[in-house]
Chains A and B, each alone.
Chain A
Amino acid sequence: MSALRLEAVERTFGGVRAVDGASFAVGPGEVHGLIGPNGAGKTSVLNLVSGLLAPTAGRILLEGRPVHGLPPHRVAALGVARTFQNIRLFPELSARDNVVVGQHLRRRGASLAARLLALPSSRAEERAAREAAGALLGRVGLSERADEEARHLSYGEQRRVEIARALASDPRLLLLDEPTAGMNPGEVGAVATLIRGAAEGGRSVLLVEHNVRLVMEVCDRITVLDFGKVIAEGAPAEVARDPAVVAAYLGATP
Chain B
Amino acid sequence: MGEALAGFWDTYQSTVGYVGLNALLALSVYTSLSCGQLALGSSGFAALGAYAAALLTVQAHWPFPLVLLVALILPAAVAVPLGLPALRLHGVFLAIATIAFGEVVRIGLVNWDYVHGAQGIVAIPQEASVWMIWLALLLALLLLSRLRGSRWGFALEAVREDEPAARTLGIATTRYKLAMLVAGAALAGLAGALEAHFTFMVAPSGFTFGRVVEMLVFAVVGGTQRAWGPVLGAAFLTVLPEALREVAPRVGLEPGPLRLMVNGLVLLAVILFLPAGLASLPQRLRERRAAGRGA
Binding site for B on A (CB under 8 A): 50-52, 71-73, 75-77, 81-82, 84, 88-93, 97, 100-102, 104-105, 107, 110, 112, 115-116, 118, 122, 126, 129, 165, 169
Contacts and interface: CB of A to CB of B under 8 A. Distances in A.
A91 B152 CA distance: 18
Given A52-B168, A81-B169, A90 B152 contact: no
A109 B261 CA distance: 51
B235 to A, nearest CB: 24
A112 to B, nearest CB: 5
Interface residues of B, number: 23
A112 B147 CA distance: 8
B158 A101 contact: yes
B150 interface: yes
Given A72-B168, A105-B169, A112 B150 contact: yes
Interface in B168-194: 168-173
Contacts of B147: 115-116
A104 B151 contact: yes
Interface string B145-177: 011011110110110011011111111110000
Contacts of A50: 168
B30 to A, nearest CB: 17
A104 to B, nearest CB: 5
A110 B155 CA distance: 12
A118 B146 contact: yes
A7 B170 CA distance: 25
Given A115-B147, A116-B146, A101 B164 contact: no
B161 A76 contact: no
Nearest to B154: A101
A112 B166 CA distance: 19
Interface of B: 143, 146-147, 149-152, 154-155, 157-158, 161-162, 164-173
B141 to A, nearest CB: 12
Given A73-B172, A76-B168, A110 B143 contact: no
A52 B165 CA distance: 9
A118 B150 CA distance: 10
B157 A73 contact: no
Given A115-B146, A126-B149, A90 B168 contact: no
Contacts of A72: 164, 167-168
B170 A77 contact: yes
Contacts of A71: 167
Contacts of B169: 73, 76, 81, 101-102, 104-105, 165, 169
A115 B146 CA distance: 7
A126 B172 CA distance: 20
A138 B152 CA distance: 25
22 contacts: A71-B167, A73-B169, A73-B170, A73-B171, A76-B167, A76-B168, A76-B169, A76-B170, A90-B161, A90-B165, A92-B157, A93-B158, A93-B161, A97-B154, A101-B155, A101-B157, A104-B170, A105-B170, A110-B150, A112-B152, A115-B147, A115-B151
A84 B173 CA distance: 19
Contacts of B167: 51-52, 71-73, 76
B150 A81 contact: no
Nearest to B173: A73
B165 A122 contact: no
Contacts of A100: 154
Given A73-B173, A110-B151, A82 B158 contact: no
A56 to B, nearest CB: 20
Contacts of A82: 168
Contacts of A105: 169-170
Contact of A90 (B146, B157, B170): B157
B136 to A, nearest CB: 16
B150 to A, nearest CB: 4
A126 B149 CA distance: 8
Contact of B165 (A84, A92, A126): A84
Contacts of A73: 167-173
Contacts of B162: 88-90
